[in-house]
């Protein structure tokens, strides 16, 4: 077999982390939304909010389980495939991961039991506290993991002795230059993913005529979230981009497909980056726009890839992933505004009144996943050839396994993940097909029997 | 005080404790998973309900154990995990299947419930066998020769038996009626393979590892070590007695079986710790050679001494909330 074990190890890590991130992206945002449903019910007494909670907590539990098991895989991957990383950067990466386990992983995993199954066993107040602790735990988890990831992008607060990294300042390590932007970008991405998921599933249920009042309450919640958070995400993304330009200019050059350093650089909308010829073919350009976006000046200087010699990331995947992320993001802004405008202007809660919107929303149920994966590919592939930017090369930390070994486990993981992903979407579909339980709150307008309603969901 | 000496020691202790708690807690989850095929459909639901609120936190202890290995002993972490590449990968796949089956078996529709029940059991079995394999390979110094492979295979069969005992003991605490009686039968059947396995492993350990034989049989250490096999033997005899005494079992003292198993596990870990110390990988690396920089250990130390008691505190709280016989799992 003439596969490069290094490339296979990278693909394996990418497969694991791509699969993993799908589920925390949902749970980090969804647990706050669930808390909101619980509080709305506690304060208003409106059963619809409680039914909304019961429906979405099931999806939360399922997503959480997938996130936990794939997260455990991640914690082993460092050792099994990238031992050099821990040997060289363990003094910094180790404690950050350790704090994640100690302050977040246990908190969420433990109180999850009470949140899911303890409603009858503890007071409403204790249950709310337990749910809040789960939400805090997931967010704290994101805090530590993103701190470590950001440190790998923009390392700070360390010194090197004989090839091994030591800590100079924990404050600088944790709050490294790109961390605030990445944390804000990811937390907001999580909420946005959830906004489109809850709208999408609710819309799908409305189209299937299994919706109840709770379904529409959830859909409006998602619409409002999207209308506010999607434009906010564009703003945070812009700040994040400026930060990347300052610390990782090669990544930005790859994102924009810019080869030569120039003032007043045009923005390439589309094109085909070619690493052999060091050019972007068939580029459609808008004059000066790249300089304007990146430096906020019409004639600002943007460094091109040719400045960085061989230490540049694979250009085409970064270039395309970036366009996918931005494209989905723009679509989210437009659909978020449309949904808010339509759902709050016409309060009729039936599929006929909103047929087109519901179709678009149900197609976009998992659009957050697409944008999140694309965004991570931009930042992670964009960091190559480094594992710790400018400090440690990815190729220097890989484990010495044969290509056959890594290929075998890779195929195992990919097969398992494909099966789980199909099962996950299938389970969501199955749960969403049952008639909404909140129908029982309506005066009998539809021809649905009571027994069917009580047997159903949400 | 010499921090460079004490901090690695503290973390080695914390790691041992985390892995011991993992074996006891996720051990009963995995054991019940392996017992699942032998129960009726209604009993399966009760068995899953008996572990439902706990398994997630239980599984986190292995993340902490491996996490400490990574934080405090990065050199050892690399050697252990690259040497155990295949069993680790298979174990993870087993844990993945077991973990997701909890939710899928009740959410993917009745048509698929049987499949997820089977995957639940399969995942539990694979994870348990691989963990046993890893322990065996680790104790023999990760050499991979024939004797150590045989030794690893032996533990790969013993550990699932121990987990099944833990599972049966947990069911004595959480169930009643016909399932309770089944748990007694399962315990009576599994206790002998488990005992035989433990005995074989104890006899084989000094045979495959001269370094360990030296530590066990040199005087005066040998006398100081005697309480370990003695209390293990007493706990084992007690375990057999408990599973055969109607008076104990039917008067609400079934939890004593779990206590006896805990004693056996505690003694096994003390014995293992003693056999390895001061090395973290036999014949290759001591605790101090493998340790991270002292300032990194100190930073984690402060977090650990605050967080660990809190974790233990809320773990106890959660077990109290869900005390008593298992009831059907409901989100409402």
Residue extents of the structural domains in chain B: 3-321
Q: Which residues of B touch A122 (CB under 8 A)?
A: 321
Tokens of residue B228, six digits: 């370990």
Q: Does B182 touch chain A (CB under 8 A)?
A: no
Q: How high is the pLDDT of residue B1? A: 64
pLDDT above 70: residue A404? yes
For range A158-180, the mean pLDDT: 90
- What is the Cα–Cα distance from A230 to A404, expressed in whole angstroms? 44
Contact at CB, A98 and B100, closer than 8 angstroms: no
Q: What is the pLDDT of residues B287-302, one digit of tens each?
A: 898 888 888 888 889 8
Q: Which of residues 193-232 of B touch A (CB under 8 A)?
A: none
Q: Does A74 touch chain B (CB under 8 A)?
A: no
Q: Does B5 touch chain A (CB under 8 A)?
A: no
Tokens of residue B265, six digits: 């596990």
Model confidence band, residue A448 (pLDDT cutoffs 50, 70, 90):
very low
Measure Cα distances from B220 to A202, B3, B226, B232 in Å. Answer: 72, 30, 11, 20
Give B179 to chain A, closest Cα distance, Å. Answer: 22
Instruction: Give the torsion through C-alpha atoms of B238, B243, B244, B250, to 10 deg.
Output: 110
Contact at CB, B303 and A103, closer than 8 angstroms: yes
Is the Cα torsion angle A61, B176, B185, B38 positive or negative in sign? negative
Model confidence band, residue A447 (pLDDT cutoffs 50, 70, 90):
very low
pLDDT above 50: residue A455? no
Q: Does A136 touch chain B (CB under 8 A)?
A: no
Q: What is the pLDDT of residues A98-155, one digit of tens each?
A: 888 888 888 888 888 888 888 888 888 888 999 999 999 999 999 999 999 999 999 9
Q: Does A68 touch chain B (CB under 8 A)?
A: yes
Q: Which of residues 306-335 of A touch B (CB under 8 A)?
A: none
Contact at CB, A431 and B107, closer than 8 angstroms: yes
- What is the Cα–Cα distance from A144 to A100, expressed in whole angstroms? 6
- What is the Cα–Cα distance from A294 to B209, expressed in whole angstroms? 63
3-class SS of residue A301 = strand
Question: Phi/psi zone of residue B52: left (φ > 0), alpha (ψ -120 to 50 degrees), beta?
Answer: alpha
pLDDT > 90 fraction of chain A, expressed in percent and rounded? 39
Q: Does B104 touch chain A (CB under 8 A)?
A: yes
Q: How high is the pLDDT of residue B124? A: 95
**Nearest CA among A294, A160, A76 for reference residue B83:** A76
Which of A98, A122, A161, A424 to mutate to test binding with chain B, by most B CBs within 10 Å of its CB? Answer: A98
Contact at CB, A65 and B103, closer than 8 angstroms: yes
Q: Which residues of A touch B108 (CB under 8 A)?
A: 423, 426-427, 430
Average pLDDT taken over every residue of chain A: 87
Of A71, A113, A119, the CB nearest to B322: A113
Contact at CB, A430 and B109, closer than 8 angstroms: yes
Is the Cα torsion angle A274, A279, A285, A290 positive or negative in sign? positive
Q: Which of residues 107-126 of A touch B (CB under 8 A)?
A: 107, 109-114, 116-122
DSSP code at position B142: S
DSSP string, A322-347: HHHHHHHHHHHHHHHHHHHHHHHH--
Model confidence band, residue A280 (pLDDT cutoffs 50, 70, 90):
confident
Q: How high is the pLDDT of residue B148? A: 82
- What is the Cα–Cα distance from B34 to B227, expressed in whole angstroms? 32
**Nearest CA among A139, A192, A170 for reference residue A333:** A192
**Nearest CA among B88, B194, B207 for reference residue B148:** B207
Q: Which residues of B touch A41 (CB under 8 A)?
A: none
- What is the Cα–Cα distance from A329 to B222, expressed in whole angstroms? 69
Q: Which of residues 418-457 of A touch B (CB under 8 A)?
A: 420, 423, 426-427, 430-431
What lies within 8 Å, CB to CB, of B95 at 6+ separation is A69, A72, B59, B123, B127
Model confidence band, residue A443 (pLDDT cutoffs 50, 70, 90):
low
Instruction: Give the torsion through C-alpha atoms of B71, B73, B78, B80, to 10 deg.
Output: -120
Measure Cα distances from A93 to A149, A158, A172, A187, A236 in Å. Answer: 9, 11, 13, 21, 26
Strand pairing class (A301-302; A279-286): unpaired
Q: Which residues pair with B279 in a beta bridge?
A: B286
Contact at CB, B68 and A98, closer than 8 angstroms: yes
**CATH of range B3-321; options 1.10.150, 3.10.450, 1.20.1630, 1.20.120:** 1.20.1630
Q: How high is the pLDDT of residue A218? A: 93
Which of A70, A85, A86, A101 to mutate to test binding with chain B, by most B CBs within 10 Å of its CB? Answer: A101
Contact at CB, A95 and B296, closer than 8 angstroms: yes
Instruction: Write out chain B's pLDDT in tens, 332 residues.
Output: 688 888 999 999 999 999 999 999 999 999 999 999 998 988 999 999 899 888 888 988 898 898 888 888 888 888 888 888 889 999 999 999 999 998 888 887 788 888 999 999 999 999 999 999 998 888 887 777 888 888 888 889 999 999 999 999 999 999 988 899 999 999 999 999 999 988 888 888 888 888 888 888 887 778 888 888 899 999 999 999 998 888 888 888 888 889 999 999 999 899 888 888 888 888 788 889 888 888 888 888 988 888 888 888 888 888 888 888 887 777 77
For range A78-95, the mean pLDDT: 85
Buried b (16+ CB within 10 A) or exposed e, B80-94: bbbbbbebbbbbbbb
For range A383-398, the mean pLDDT: 86
For range A369-397, the mean pLDDT: 90
- What is the Cα–Cα distance from A9 to A7, expressed in whole angstroms? 5
For range A358-365, the mean pLDDT: 92
Q: How high is the pLDDT of residue B253? A: 86
**Nearest CA among A156, A201, A237, A250 for reference residue A30:** A201
* CA A148 to mean position of chain CA atoms: 16
Going through chain B in order, the beta strands assigned E by DSSP cover 279-281, 285-286
* Range with top average pLDDT, A156-165, A322-331, A386-395: A322-331
pLDDT above 80: residue A444? no
Listed range (A154-168, A265-279, A360-374, A420-434) with the worst mean pLDDT: A265-279
3-class SS of residue A163 = coil
């Amino acid at each position: 077999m003439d596969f490069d074990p290094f490339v296979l190890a990278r693909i394996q890590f990418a497969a694991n982390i791509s699969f993993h991130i799908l589920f925390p992206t949902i749970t980090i945002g969804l647990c706050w939304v669930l808390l909101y449903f619980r509080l709305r019910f506690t304060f208003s007494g409106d059963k619809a909010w409680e039914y909304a909670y019961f429906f979405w907590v099931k999806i939360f539990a399922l997503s959480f389980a997938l996130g936990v098991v794939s997260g455990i895989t991640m914690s082993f991957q460092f050792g099994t495939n990238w031992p050099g990383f821990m040997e060289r950067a363990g003094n910094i990466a180790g404690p950050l991961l350790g704090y994640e386990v100690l302050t977040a992983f246990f908190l969420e995993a433990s109180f999850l039991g009470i949140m899911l199954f303890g409603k009858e066993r503890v007071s409403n107040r204790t249950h709310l506290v337990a749910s809040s602790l789960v939400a805090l735990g997931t967010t704290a988890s994101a805090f530590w993991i993103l701190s470590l990831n950001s440190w790998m992008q923009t390392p700070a607060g360390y010194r090197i002795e004989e090839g091994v990294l030591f800590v100079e300042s924990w404050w600088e390590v944790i709050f490294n230059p790109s961390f605030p932007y990445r944390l804000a970008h990811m937390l907001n991405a999580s909420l946005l993913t959830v906004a489109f998921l809850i709208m999408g599933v609710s819309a799908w249920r409305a189209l299937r005529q299994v919706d109840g009042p709770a379904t529409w309450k959830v859909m409006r919640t998602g619409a409002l979230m999207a209308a506010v958070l999607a434009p906010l995400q564009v703003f945070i993304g812009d700040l994040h981009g400026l930060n990347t330009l300052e610390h990782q200019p090669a990544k930005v050059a790859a994102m924009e497909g810019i080869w030569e350093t120039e003032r007043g650089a045009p923005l390439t909308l589309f094109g085909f980056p070619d690493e052999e010829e060091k050019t972007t073919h068939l580029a459609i350009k808008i004059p000066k726009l790249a300089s304007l976006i990146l430096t906020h000046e019409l004639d600002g200087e943007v460094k091109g890839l040719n400045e960085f010699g061989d230490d540049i990331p694979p250009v085409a995947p970064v270039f395309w992933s970036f366009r996918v992320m931005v494209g989905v993001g723009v679509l989210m802004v437009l659909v978020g505004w449309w949904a808010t405008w339509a759902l709050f202007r016409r309060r009729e809660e039936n599929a006929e009144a909103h047929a087109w919107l519901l179709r678009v929303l149900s197609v976009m149920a998992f659009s957050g996943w697409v944008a999140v994966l694309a965004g991570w590919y931009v930042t992670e592939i964009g960091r190559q050839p480094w594992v710790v930017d400018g400090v440690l090369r990815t190729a220097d930390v890989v484990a010495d396994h044969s290509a056959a070994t890594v290929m075998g486990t890779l195929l195992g993981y990919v097969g398992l993940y494909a099966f789980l992903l199909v099962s996950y979407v299938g389970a969501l579909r199955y749960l969403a097909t049952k008639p909404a339980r909140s129908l029982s709150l309506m005066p009998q307008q539809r021809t649905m029997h009571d027994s069917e309603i009580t047997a159903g969901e949400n | 005080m010499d921090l460079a000496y004490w901090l690695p020691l503290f973390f080695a202790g914390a790691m041992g404790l985390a892995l011991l708690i993992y074996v006891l807690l996720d051990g009963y989850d995995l054991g019940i998973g392996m017992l699942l095929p032998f129960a009726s459909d209604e009993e399966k639901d009760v068995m899953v309900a008996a572990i439902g609120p706990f398994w997630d936190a239980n599984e986190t202890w292995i993340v902490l154990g491996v996490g400490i290995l990574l934080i405090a002993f990065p050199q050892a972490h690399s050697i252990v995990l690259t040497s155990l590449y295949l069993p680790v990968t298979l174990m993870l796949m087993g844990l993945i299947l077991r973990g997701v089956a909890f939710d899928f078996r009740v959410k993917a529709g009745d048509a698929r419930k049987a499949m997820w029940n089977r995957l639940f059991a399969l995942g539990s079995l694979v994870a348990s066998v691989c963990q046993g394999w890893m322990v065996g390979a680790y104790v023999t110094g990760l050499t991979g020769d024939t004797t150590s492979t045989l030794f690893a295979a032996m533990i790969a069969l013993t550990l699932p038996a121990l987990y099944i005992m833990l599972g049966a003991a947990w069911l004595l605490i959480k169930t009643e009626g016909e399932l309770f009686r089944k748990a007694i039968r399962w315990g009576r059947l599994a206790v002998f393979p488990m005992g035989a396995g433990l005995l074989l492993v104890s006899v084989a350990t000094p045979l495959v590892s001269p370094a360990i034989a030296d530590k066990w049989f040199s005087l005066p250490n040998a006398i100081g070590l005697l309480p370990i096999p003695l209390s293990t033997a007493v706990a084992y005899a007690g375990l057999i007695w408990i599973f055969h005494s109607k008076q104990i079992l039917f008067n609400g003292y079934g939890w004593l079986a779990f206590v006896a198993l805990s004693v056996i596990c505690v003694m096994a870990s003390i014995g293992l710790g003693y056999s390895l110390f001061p090395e973290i990988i036999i014949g290759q690396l001591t605790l101090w050679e493998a340790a991270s920089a002292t300032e990194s250990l100190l930073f984690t130390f402060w977090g650990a001494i605050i967080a660990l008691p809190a974790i233990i505190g809320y773990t106890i709280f959660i077990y109290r909330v869900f005390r008593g016989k298992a009831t059907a799992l409901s989100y409402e």
